[in-house]
Amino acid sequence: MPGVIEESPFKTIQVKELHPTFGAEVSGVNFQDLSEDQFNEILAAMAKYGFCVFRNTGLDDTAHVEFSSRFGELDNIRRYLGGGRLPRYALFELFDAGNIDGETDTILPPDSARAHSNRGNGLFHADSSFNPRRASFSLLRACELPPPGNGGNTDFADSRTAFDELPSDLKEELLANDYVGAHSMAHSRKLGSPQFFADVDPRAGSMQRHRLLQKHEPSGRMNLFIGAHLHHIEDADGNEIPGSWDLVKRLNEFATQKKNTTTVEWHNVGDMIIWDNRCVLHRAGGGAFEGKYRRDLRRTTVHDDSPTAWGCNQKDTIWTGFNAQAKAKHAGAVGV
């Protein structure tokens, strides 16, 4: 109503909206002594906006993991450490999302197996959709950044609004059919660097299945659970539907069109972005920093505990990383 300022629903935090339909920068958080009331307001902001940016958190590795554990059970990197790869950090809950070789502490060579694997992170995706139990929140913190103006931003896409705005015939088709998406990390790696991974066959490895349409429990809104890990679409009986790949591409392109996306620039060491993989997609932005400047980002990943956390997968499924599917020449390629 013109002339009327609505009272903010938040009492302990301040919110600056970043896009007309999703995303917010949140300030006023006391990360050193976070009350339950303030944490609950962060959860409410996450439910509304899908991703939130926090500047200058002051968190170190230990505090990052401790804060993340308030959101739920954390994933860890142990099953990804194939091919003799060693963990870069003392805490196994921290995933390396940067461009630094953990053994030499130097920038990854652009032609290295892991650099090729990381190109898959430059495609819009939902973290852990290739796992039998999907992820809820990801918490990404900056520890070292390239100079301003050299890229390395993080982009987001609003997959809830994408569902809302689907053409009516396509929305009716998706609602009328219990479609299931088959997800594979090998698939996104091959999409990101098709020539390097030319001999990798995603169908030769395991795929995990999650329904294409899912209710995002915290907001009550429907969501498209898609992204670069989505290899193909199946019907309720487990058969790949006709025109599966065309539909995968159509949905991903619709959800990530310009009006549904926004970019977050990293400003300072200690900045953190939290996103909910159940209602947004994200990708790592490239730029002039690649092969030239260090970009050290560390991520924790929270296991989903919603009713659809395990999708159509058995809880005793053996979880494997990309290296378990790739051939020896790609050992150490997994980018987590």
Average pLDDT over residues 162-191: 97
Least confident of 6-10, 40-44, 217-221, 233-237: 6-10
Backbone torsions φ then ψ of 94, nearest 5 degrees: -95, 125
SS3 118: helix
pTM: 0.93
Give domain limits for the chain: 14-330
- The rounded distance, in Å, linking the Cα atoms of 267 and 243 is 43
Residues contacting 308, CB < 8 A, separation 6+: 134, 210, 211, 214, 215, 217
**14-330 CATH fold:** Double-stranded beta-helix (3.60.130)
Task: Identify the three-state secondary structure at position 122.
Answer: helix
Q: Of the given ranges (4-18, 89-103, 179-193, 306-320), which has the lowest mean pLDDT?
A: 4-18
For the segment 228-241, what is each residue's pLDDT rounded down to a tens digit? 999 999 999 999 99
Residue-level pLDDT at 334? 54
Tens digits of residue pLDDT in 250-277: 999 999 999 999 999 999 999 999 999 9
